[in-house]
A and B are shown apart, each in its own frame.
Chain A
């Protein structure tokens, strides 16, 4: 009983510390919190589908960020051809990427699921290379932009002026998280996918079509990236290597949150986003943000492994 109480207290210690830290940062560097939440939400939005594939299909998709690039270029092409707003183009880009994901899964990924990890990595790395080069051939390496007025909209509270558009990343990240959780916990298909992620052999024995689940989850993951693509296009320059840094960041978030922990990815994204923004806001030390990013990641993984070894 006493042990349970101690465990309960520990459960609340970390979130409490996080809240105190957040309040302190907000008092001294309010912009760091706002920018950090916005940027961290984007990291989480992009990382969640990678974690989904990693957790259920069991494959680390090194082409993940390149699907983001592809989606952004499709949205750019739609905008230039039809004038359709990038946010509305999400409704076309996400299904299109879903189909691309399904096609790639059937043609390539499904063939290496039982292959050694290195082969899987090489395959997705190869897909990434092909996507980057094809995009380079079609659109060249010259960055492309879509300018829409609302992407640089801002709000002021007193003398406190900040951009509002990037809060859409937070809304999208929370929305995707809620929908994914509802899907995985409350639908037959989602429960089946959850079971496959837990124990694929067992799931197969009880009659779940594991292959179909893999196909579906991989396609959904690529489709979700399409949402991020439409959201980022009004705000960022796109070029053939635009998405690739997000692959590494997504993998880091997945590693930090723990396999299959989608909610943890949102928290990790916010923590890393705020950490990054905080470092950037310190005069003369902005170049340290990557060091902090990976430093926090290493610390979390190390602490978790220590805790794991004592349990």
Chain B
């Protein structure tokens, strides 16, 4: 009888130990939603996997491994919203991460509000998303909002004008694709320049004359930019900006060459660049905006580590800034968990507010309030320039990797 009691006691102790160990190693679940059919989402997902692999190899967080569950939103708002529900109810994730499209995110916000889990989002630049998230203190947004990007460019150009006095930025022509993306860019510029006329905002004293004209993007069956380029050529701007998609990039340059349009500053502002753009001689001297470039490897050890690890892991180069942003997404959250020493919501929010993470994007990520939300990460993009087939950082000057080529090189010989 005594033997049976002893046996039961030992079994009970063993069961408790096993349960305890199991509870201790229960992974911390990160639920990511990304558009995997698009290069931005695919590479962000890869970078997240890389970050999780590195962190788990180093012993995990709070003694627990990370588990990454990725759901494809297919750039579809209803699928993006359903993905949040699935991650919360079926996968029972601890945190939401990821993001790309603003349209998808607008549909996700009501669902995120339902669960109110800590969310660290790397996409969705539209201020409409920001407005919808007013008061959500569990929400951390790492990508600059659209108006912050516009203001950041103004700061950058003002500093460039100071450093390079020969540069002029008085007359700006914007060619924008006629869809939502381009039209939003045009309206944002108009609003900021209107503000500048009243003596307010970042564009005061920068742009004196502005003109915009739409075109149909190749992404939607267009691709003939000659009319808008000719209009710009006749207007003779100091800076020509086109806001379209990656599919417009090289044909835009080829058609500018065809009509002999070479403004002193030629800026391209697509969300991503085509695979072969750098290989073309037409890319030389084109200015672009972005959060990251491989050339940051020259000035940032974290960027260099990320780049090499990504290439080694996936056998391809990270080609979009969503890759280092995805990597930052995971590391930022993990730094917060480490700092908090717990997954408890309030403590973790406080810890994330204090995190200073040196990111592969060439700048330290710190949280500060934006115009509407309490937790905003990055606020500016960088001014880059295609030089010898590579994107070089022109501004901020702290991470500048090459001198600014000005004016835009003539077409002859290209």
Contacts and interface: CB of A to CB of B under 8 A. Distances in A.
A167 to B, nearest CB: 12
Contacts of A152: 254-255, 257-258, 282
B274 A154 contact: no
B388 interface: no
Nearest to A133: B37
Nearest to A249: B221
A146 B281 CA distance: 12
B38 A141 contact: yes
Nearest to A273: B224
A140 interface: yes
B27 interface: no
Contacts of B214: 286-287
B39 A35 contact: no
Contact of A144 (B215, B226, B272, B274): B274
Given A147-B254, A154-B259, A286 B275 contact: no
A147 B280 contact: yes
Contact of B260 (A161, A246, A249): A161
B230 interface: yes
Given A141-B39, A143-B246, A147-B280, A286 B226 contact: no
Contacts of A3: none
Nearest to A237: B247
A263 interface: no
A265 to B, nearest CB: 18
Contacts of B39: 140-142
B226 A142 contact: no
A162 B52 CA distance: 54
A32 B223 CA distance: 15
Contacts of A286: 178, 213-216, 227-228
Contact of B251 (A154, A237, A284): A237
Contacts of A281: 227, 230
Interface string A232-247: 0001110101101110
A41 interface: no
Nearest to A137: B37
A290 B254 CA distance: 24
> Is chain B's interface secondary structure helix, strand, loop, or mixed overall?
helix
Contacts of A237: 218, 223, 246-251, 274
Contacts of A151: 254
Nearest to A164: B258
Interface residues on A, range: 35 or more
A236 B218 CA distance: 8
A270 interface: no
A148 to B, nearest CB: 10
A151 B282 CA distance: 12
Given A145-B280, A152-B257, A283 B231 contact: yes
B276 A146 contact: yes
B345 interface: no
Contact of A142 (B220, B231, B319): B319
A145 B258 contact: no
A245 B37 CA distance: 20
Given A144-B275, A277-B227, A286-B214, 6 more contacts: A31-B226, A35-B227, A142-B275, A152-B254, A235-B254, A286-B227
Interface of A: 31-32, 35, 39, 136, 140-147, 151-154, 161-163, 165, 235-237, 239, 241-242, 244-246, 249, 277, 280-281, 283-284, 286-287, 289-290
The 7 closest A-B pairs by CB, nearest first: A245-B221, A163-B258, A280-B227, A237-B247, A143-B274, A147-B280, A152-B254
18 contacts: A31-B226, A35-B227, A143-B247, A144-B275, A145-B251, A145-B277, A147-B276, A152-B258, A153-B258, A154-B258, A162-B259, A163-B255, A165-B258, A237-B218, A242-B247, A284-B213, A286-B216, A287-B216
